[in-house]
Amino acid sequence: MAGKKHSFLDKVLGRADQLDAAGLQTLVQKLARERAMLESVFNTLQEGVLVITADGEIDYANEAAARMIGFKEQGAAATLWRLVPGLRASLDGGEGRPAPGTKLPIITREFELTYPVPRVVRLYMVPFDESEGGEPRFAIILSDITTEKKSTAELIESEKISSILLLAAGVAHELGNPLNSLTIHLQLIERKLKKLRGSPEAAALGASIRVCQDEVTRLDGIIRNFLEAIRPQPPDLGEVNVVEVIEDVLRFQAKELGDRGIKVEGELPASTPVIMADRNQLKQVFFNLVKNAMEAMGPHGKLGIRVRAADDSVYIRFADSGSGIKTEELSKLFSPYHTTKAGGHGLGLMIVQRIMREHGGHVGIESKEGAGTVVTLQFPQKHRRVRMLQS
pLDDT tens column, 187-199: 878 777 777 766 6
Task: Return all residues near 322 (Cβ < 8 A) that are at least 6 apart.
Answer: 293, 296, 297, 298, 301, 372, 373
Same domain, 129 and 222: no
Same domain, 256 and 210: no
Which range marks the domain in which residue 108 is found? 45-144
Kindly tell me if the per-residue pLDDT of 388 is higher than 60: no
Per-residue pLDDT at 349 = 79
Kindly tell me if the per-residue pLDDT of 162 is higher than 80: no
Same domain, 353 and 242: yes
Asked, for residue 35, whether it belongs to a domain, the answer is: no
Same domain, 185 and 217: yes
Kindly tell me if the per-residue pLDDT of 361 is higher than 90: no
Dihedral sign from CA coordinates of 225, 226, 231, 233:
positive
Asked, for residue 88, whether it belongs to a domain, the answer is: yes
DSSP letters, 262-290, are PEEEEE--TTPPPEEE-HHHHHHHHHHHH
Q: Give me the CATH number covering residue 72.
A: 3.30.450.20
Same domain, 119 and 164: no
User: How many Å apart are CA 278 and CA 234, to the nearest integer?
Assistant: 9
Q: Which of 87, 118, 144 is the last residue of a domain?
A: 144
Asked, for residue 223, whether it belongs to a domain, the answer is: yes
Q: Give me the CATH number covering residue 221.
A: 1.10.287
User: How many Å apart are CA 269 and CA 359, to the nearest integer?
Assistant: 22
Task: Among 125-134, 280-289, 319-328, 365-374, name the one with the lowest average pLDDT.
Answer: 125-134
In this structure, how many other beta carbons lie within 10 angstroms of the beta carbon of residue 79?
16
State yes or no: cis peptide before 178, omega within 30 of 0. Answer: no
Query: Cβ distance 293 to 373 under 8 Å?
Result: yes
User: How many Å apart are CA 381 and CA 276, to the nearest integer?
Assistant: 7
pTM: 0.46
Q: What is the mean pLDDT of the chain?
A: 77
Same domain, 110 and 165: no
Q: Give the 3-state secondary structure of residue 185.
A: helix
State yes or no: cis peptide before 269, omega within 30 of 0. Answer: no
Task: Indicate the number of domains in the chain.
Answer: 3
Confidence of residue 210 (pLDDT cuts 50, 70, 90): confident
Same domain, 158 and 117: no
Asked, for residue 242, whether it belongs to a domain, the answer is: yes
Kindly tell me if the per-residue pLDDT of 245 is higher than 90: yes
Kindly state the average pLDDT of the residues 79-108: 69
Asked, for residue 24, whether it belongs to a domain, the answer is: no
